[in-house]
Amino acid sequence: MTEAATPTAAMKADPRLESYFAGEEERRTVTRAMFDQAAGGYDKAERITALGSGAWYRRDVLRRNGLRRGMTLLDVAAGTGLVASAGQQLIGPEGRLLALDPSPGMLAELRKKLDVETIEAYAESIPLPDKHVDFVSMGYALRHVGDLDLAFGEYQRVLRPGGRVCIMEISRPASRLGQFLLRAYIGVVVPFLARLTGSHADVKLLWQYYGDTIEVALESEHILDAMHRAGFVDVECSITFGVFREYLGRKP
The 10s digit of each residue's pLDDT in 10-28 is: 544 456 666 666 777 777 8
The range of the structural domain enclosing residue 92 comes to 55-171+217-250
pLDDT at 210 over 60: yes
CATH number at residue 132: 3.40.50.150
Q: To 10 degrees, the CA torsion angle through 214, 219, 224, 230?
A: -70
Within-domain flag for 246: yes
Is 45 part of a structural domain of the chain? no
Q: How many CB atoms lie within 10 A of CB 203?
A: 25
Kindly state whether residue 94 falls inside one of the protein's structural domains: yes
Distance CA 206, CA 63 (A): 29
Q: Would you say residue 180 lies in a domain?
A: no
| Contact status, residue 210 vs residue 50, Cβ threshold 8 Å | no
Supply the Cα-derived Rg of the chain in whole angstroms: 17
d(CA 215, CA 11): 9
Q: How many CB atoms are closer than 10 A to CB 128?
A: 15
pLDDT at res. 2: 34
Q: How many helices (H) and strands (E) does the chain have?
A: 10, 7
Tens of pLDDT along 117-147? 999 999 999 999 999 999 999 998 898 888 9
On whether residue 126 sits in a domain, the answer given is yes
Query: Nearest-5° angle of CA 168, CA 126, CA 18?
Result: 65
